[in-house]
Amino acid sequence: MAVFPAILDSSVLFNRPVTDTLLRAAEYGLYRVHWTQRILDETTGSLIKRSKMNRAQASHLQEELAKAFPEAMHPDVFLSDLFDLDSRLLERIIREQCKDLTGLSAEDLLAKLETHVPNFVSLIR
């Protein structure tokens, strides 16, 4: 498995020749590719908007990316790998986020995150 992870955002995925090159590099194990559903939606939305593909083609693209790189969509391991866990720092970050999310305690936020990134949440707790 490749040593380092990289997020391909919508500006990268929009450019088909660049995407092809980067995905081939990921296939060869030069890095671990990651993206979110939001990134894929932004990418395909832009491709549709600019008449580069229709909705059926956009849906097919997302399906093929999911088949070719099933590990790319999973944020849990990626988040856990990226964070140099400092419990005090993470606690402060979570509390600051909760201030922005009115009525949400730190525990409530962790409970919501746990459904999507359980390993990451267990590291934080």
35-54 pLDDT, tens digit per residue, is 988 889 999 999 999 999 99
pTM: 0.61
Q: What is the pLDDT of residue 120?
A: 78
Residue with tokens 């399906």: 63
> Within this chain, do residues 96 and 115 fall inside the same structural domain, yes or no?
yes
Name the residue range of residue 55's domain.
5-73
Kindly state the greatest CA–CA separation across the chain: 48
Number of domains in the chain: 2
d(C-alpha 86, C-alpha 98), whole Å: 18
Cα–chain center distance at 94: 19
> Within this chain, do residues 20 and 66 fall inside the same structural domain, yes or no?
yes
Half-sphere exposure of 125 (CA within 13 A, CB side): 14
d(C-alpha 1, C-alpha 72), whole Å: 13
Q: What is the pLDDT of residue 88?
A: 72
* Alpha-carbon distances of 11 from 19, 43, 45, 47, 123, rounded to whole Å: 10, 7, 12, 11, 31
d(C-alpha 97, C-alpha 82), whole Å: 19
> Within this chain, do residues 17 and 68 fall inside the same structural domain, yes or no?
yes
Residues of the chain with pLDDT under 50: none
Boundary residue ending a domain (55, 73, 91)? 73
